[in-house]
Amino acid sequence: MNNFEIVAHRGVTDEAPENTLPAFERAIELGADAVELDVRLTADRIPVVFHYYYLENATPIAGPIFSCKYAELKQLQVRGRSTTGKIPTLPEVLDAIGGQIGLEVEIKGPEPESAVIVAGILQEHKRLWQTIEITSYEPALLLEIRKQCPGLATDLLFSRSQPWMKLDVVAYQALHQARLAQARAVHLHPTQLSQDVVAGIKQNGIEVHAWDVNDEKSLQIIAELEVPRICTDNFQRAFDFRRRLFA
């Protein structure tokens, strides 16, 4: 059985708001292999690290993030469980923690220029490329990153399955969408994983990673299937599981 890497989804958020520098710094302190972060564009096309379309999901003001300029956003406090924090820009995150931990950067889209803007920033941080992977649900955005930043790892995120989808359809769609995106890896939900699914995708030269690995059952699945990298909202549970497994 092979070890696996743990990615802290939006940082470690028990003590800090998600997608903020304190949440990422906490992940470094606790020994995460990487952090996942989401990138969206403001009205004035500044790439900021924020998950939601609507600001009211995590801040005191309402409205879509794409209608708000960065000058206003940077004054806001993101709500956490017990503390608040600032919305950082992508360059701020790269400068603050780049090289200290792996970075899984999800381009949320859907703006076509999202990939171009992110690629321009990444060109200024080439020293970090070995520690960065770009993810998206949109093959076109990944293809643009590959064009602008050849050699940078790009991974396709595959949505949770519809009720009618059996695992053979999951494997077929995930493989061909990943091929369309020319992705290095495809990220699947634990409910989409089986020995046949993983083997079939890997036989085509594409890695399989897992997202939303938050409970013991999901951790057992990825361990048995030797999935090399997972993304989790419950970092400590995943960390403790891995420590017991490979003690």
Domains of the chain by residue range: 5-245
Top-confidence range, 73-82, 106-115, 175-184 = 175-184
| pLDDT exceeds 90 at position 246 | no
The CA radius of gyration of the chain, in Å to the nearest whole number, is 18
CATH 3.20.20.190 fits 5-245, yes or no: yes
121-130 confidence digits (pLDDT tens) = 999 999 999 9
| pLDDT exceeds 70 at position 1 | no
Q: What is the 3-state secondary structure (H, E, C) of the chain?
A: CCCCEEEEECCCCCCCCCCCHHHHHHHHHHCCCEEEEEEEECCCCCEEECCCCEHHHCCCCCCEHHHCCHHHHCCCCEECCCCEECCCEHHHHHHHHECCEEEEEEECCCCCHHHHHHHHHHHCCHHHHHHEEEEECCHHHHHHHHHHCCCCEEEEECCCCCCCCCHHHHHHHHHHHHHHHCCCEEEECHHHCCHHHHHHHHCCCCEEEECCCCCHHHHHHHHHHCCCEEEECCHHHHHHHHHHHCC
Residue with the bigger pLDDT between 146 and 80: it is 146
Cα 146 to Cα 162: distance, rounded to the nearest angstrom = 29
**Model confidence, pTM:** 0.96
- Peptide bond before residue 17 is cis, with ω within 30 degrees of 0: no
| pLDDT exceeds 90 at position 138 | yes
15-39 confidence digits (pLDDT tens) = 899 999 999 999 999 999 999 999 9
The predicted structure's pLDDT at residue 210: 99
| pLDDT exceeds 80 at position 148 | yes
Task: Tell me if 182 sits within 8 A of 143, measured CB to CB.
Answer: yes
What average pLDDT does the structure give for the chain?
Answer: 96
The predicted structure's pLDDT at residue 81: 83
Task: Tell me if 112 sits within 8 A of 121, measured CB to CB.
Answer: no
Using a pLDDT cut of 90, give the percent of the chain over it.
91
156-184 confidence digits (pLDDT tens) = 999 988 888 999 999 999 999 999 999 99
